[in-house]
Structure 1
Amino acid sequence: MENVRASSTHAAWLMVSVVLVALNLRPSMAAVGPLLSAIRGDIPLSFSAASLLTMLPVMAMGLAMFLGMRIALRFGEHRTIVLSLLVIGLATASRLYLDSTVGLILSAVLAGLGIALIQAVMPALIKSRFGNNVSLFMGLYVTSIMGGAAVAASFSPFVLAQTGNWRISLAIWALLALVALVIWFAQRSTVPPLPEAPTGSRQESFVGNSRAWLLAVFFGLGTASYTCVLAWLAPYYVEKGWSEQSAGLLLGLLTAMEVVSGLVTPAIANRSQDKRRVLAVLLALIIAGFCGLILSPERFTLLWPCLLGLGIGGLFPMSLIVSLDHLDNPRRAGGLTAFVQGIGYLIAGLSPLIAGVIRDQLGSFEWAWWSLAAVMAVMIVMVLRFDPKHYARHIQ
């Protein structure tokens, strides 16, 4: 009985630690949008250049994702996450002293590298430790990522209002990394190692597998809607006359709805092995949200971020869960999700830049919203391919 109780206590502490780590994976990007007008008042930034603050860390996340599992296998999951939290914390704290566009972008890229290492390791760790409830715990993990974005987007403008300094508003999130680092290090004995690979084997490559590419493109297009909204929703409403605080709260509302959907959707989807109906509903919600932003941005203003948040918040974890469902072995599943996220983040990283260029050239973000709505419609067609009866055939 005592062993069971100890085991459940360790599992609970591990999950608390995972949540605290996950809260650090978006503030470095989510805090920028609501503060953009203040940053641009101090540092000369076009919308295209400002898009690099979201685009480059996402691209860095994609590139580093391919190295994440190799680094974890060499140094262990615990040390890899400790290193990653240190990188994120230092990159975020450095913004207190930045006075140039290049420095701001470099801090964003450095944080993106730390984020990527954690995101490469976590799915395999969760599948290994919580194998019977992967959907539920992946939902909690991804929801925590979005929760970090919600807190940063909502709270950063208030720090700006109190201090009058956007650098403090960006750098304050290093404290969150410090808390996560202390808790994660304290429970290092509860972090289970991944199953050992057979002697002499190398990490499996999914480059030649068409299903892996389909999953990666699906994840990338879905995440493109997230990164684009994260970068440009607040500036979109600031251009319409809203204050930075109000626009930040609107983005905070959207990310809060992502948190709700990220918790509820995987729990609902966990009842069935076939996730296609849930995925189609989520994509329809996103399409409705983008159409609302375009056609009626000042009426039913709170409805459109709610629809977008519910759709995006569920789509993010469900894209990873569908990838994990393809394989039973945690190590192979972790390798597949690392590949999916690596390619996916490279795709998603382009969306803020494209939207920024559209804004500079056409004077409005509306065509960017139309483009994303069309992409979501294409993804509904892609969902039809995800029949669980054929998973084993597609990934041997």
Structure 2
Amino acid sequence: MTTTDPDPAPSAVPARGPTALLLGTTLLLTALNLRAAVTSVGAVLPEIQAGVGMSDSVAGVLTTLPVLAFGIVGLLAARLGRRMGTDRALVAALLLITVGLVVRALAPTTGWVLVTSLVALCGMAIGNVLVPVTVKAWFPDAVGRYTGLYSLGIMVGTAVPVAVTVPLADLGGGWRFGLGIWAVPAALALVPWVLVSRRSEGLARPAPTGVPFAGSSGVRRSVKAWALMVFFGIQSMEAYVAMGWLPSIFQDAGVSPTRAGLLTALTMVLGVPVALLVPPLAARRPDQRGWVVALVAASVLGYLGLWLAAGRAPLLWSLLLGIGLGAFPLALLLIGLRARSPQTTSELSSLVQGWGYLLAAMGPLAIGVLHEVTGGWDVPLVALLVLLLPKLIAGLIAGAPGVVDGDPSDTAVEGNGPDR
């Protein structure tokens, strides 16, 4: 179901020249800070527990907090963007990240670690939702290219803290330095956003007080919007399951712990080239269903390999799963392509990422329970295979030409604008 916004707010003029360079740099710097507060914690979690007396159960809460915050705060981020303007809301998001990371590094107790982590996570959740709005507003004829850019930033910002937080902690005298140092790139990302805020009139203008955005209910009634949410949610669930359980699956199949860790890292690192390639290529046509089928097929082959012969060709299964996780940048691209205006992009992004992350939160726990109950990985892997069916169906609906806020004929093929 689609609906037309009867009174759409004006879109920002597409960026050109120096402004495009400034905003592209800003997008990349922002994206680099949307995961570091999460992945840096895992690298030094035992040291954090020892330093503030954190129990294992509370540590479990700390590691579950990100996906819950992404979901709950993500549902509210579009409203914040309308009231403040997207550019100013993103400045506020980076401020939350910076302050949260600085104060967390000084936290004297477990409670302070949790509260300050939540502050930083709220900023990250706002950024998750509103960065696609920026892309739609400033680069409507190059959504694929700039979705690839900020997807790349997210991937790099996910992987680098895992690799360097421990060495940085050793260099700086402990876990507090290793965590607090990530406030520096967040603070640096504020500088170009302040410049953007001054040079623009606002990317998604605040609605007048008491007047809701007219397209909001239309997005919630769109079958395509909810299909995109399911597609995004299941792919996010797969990613969290891979990060949490893939090393154990390989080890139980006879792979050494060191190699299992390297194979899991390979699966995650593959997201970098995939993020660079998939969005700009997929955006060349109005129909992305072929990409949905190809990425789901890669996941099917990867899970089948893990189920039937995990220890025989683990490198191949890691590669296939890594390719399949390319559904993440594709889902981000579809958020931009399936809305006509930045305002609707904001509503769609909030719905897709908010409910999608809440759906994803159930994955690692459910897979762990299935493994514990059955004593093996057969049932959990079959469950993941079964989940690919609704992911495929939802992806085919979301990937079909059309928008959630107008007639399908309004969907343009990226590349017809003067910036190409």
TM-score band (shorter)?
0.7 to 0.9
CA contact under 8 A between 1:211 and 1:395: conserved in structure 2? no
State the Cα distance separating 1:121 from its structure 2 match.
1.6
Aligned counterpart for 2:62 among listed residues 43, 53, 59: 53
1:325 pairs, out of 303, 326, 337, with 337
Of 287, 305, 319, 1:306 maps to 319
Counterpart-to-counterpart distance in 1, 2:62 and 2:336: 30
Q: Which stretch shifts more, 164-173 or 207-216?
A: 164-173
Corresponding position of 1:218: 231
TM (normalized to structure 1)? 0.83
- The residue aligned with 1:13 is 22
Change (3 A) 1:251 1:321: same
Q: Which residue of 1 aligns with 2:11?
A: none
Match of 2:212 among 184, 192, 202: 202
Q: Offset at 1:23?
A: 0.5
CA–CA separation in structure 2 for the residues paired with 1:111 and 1:366 = 38
Letter in 1 for 2:268: T
Q: 8 Å contact 2:289–2:400 — kept in the other structure?
A: no
Shift in alpha-carbon separation, 1:115–1:389, aligned structure 2, 3 A: closer
CA distance in 2, matches of 1:364, 1:89: 42
1:78 alignment partner in structure 2: 87
Q: Are 1:283 and 2:296 counterparts?
A: yes
For 2:68 and 2:91, how far apart are their aligned partners in 1?
22
The partner residue of 1:135 within 129, 141, 144 is: 144
Counterpart of 2:362?
350
* Segment of structure 1 superposing worse, 270-279 or 99-108: 99-108
Cα deviations by residue, 1:66-104 (Å, 9 ceiling, x for unpaired)? 321222222222321222112112323344345765554
Q: Is the 8 A contact 1:195 1:331 kept in 2?
A: yes
Q: Alpha-carbon deviation of 1:258?
A: 0.4
Measure the CA separation in 2 of the matches of 1:304 and 1:164.
Answer: 39
Q: Give the number of aligned pairs.
A: 386
What are the Cα deviations for residues 3-22 of structure 1, in whole angstroms up to 9, with x where unaligned?
xxx94111111110110011
- The 1:348–1:169 alpha-carbon spacing in structure 2 relative to 1, beyond 3 Å, is same
Kindly indicate whether the alpha-carbon contact (under 8 Å) linking 1:283 and 1:380 is maintained by their aligned counterparts in 2. yes
Q: What is the alpha-carbon distance in structure 1 between the residues aligned to residue 366 and residue 264 of structure 2?
A: 20
**Change beyond 3 A, Cα 1:77–1:319:** same
Partner of 1:65: 74
Q: Structure 2, unaligned stretches of length 5 or more?
A: 1-14, 411-420
- Identity among equivalent pairs (%): 31
Partner of 1:31: 40
Larger deviation, residues 378-387 vs 96-105? 96-105
- Shift of the 274–201 alpha-carbon distance from structure 1 to 2, 3 Å rule, reads same
Q: Is the 8 A contact 2:86 2:205 kept in 1?
A: no
**1:22 has 2:31 as partner:** yes
In structure 1, the residue matched to 2:3 is: none
- Equivalent residues of 1:153, 1:251 under 8 A apart: no
| Unaligned residue ranges in structure 1 (runs of 5+) | 1-5
Question: In 2 relative to 1, CA 53–210 (structure 1 residues): closer, same or farther, beyond 3 Å?
Answer: same
Q: Distance in 1 between matches of 2:260 and 2:201?
A: 42
In 1, the alpha carbon distance for the partners of 2:301 and 2:118 equals 32
**Which amino acid letter does the alignment assign opposite residue 217 of structure 1?**
V
SS in 1 for 2:397: coil
8 A contact 1:55–1:353 mirrored in 2 = no
The answer as to whether partners of 1:285 and 1:307 remain within 8 angstroms in 2 is yes
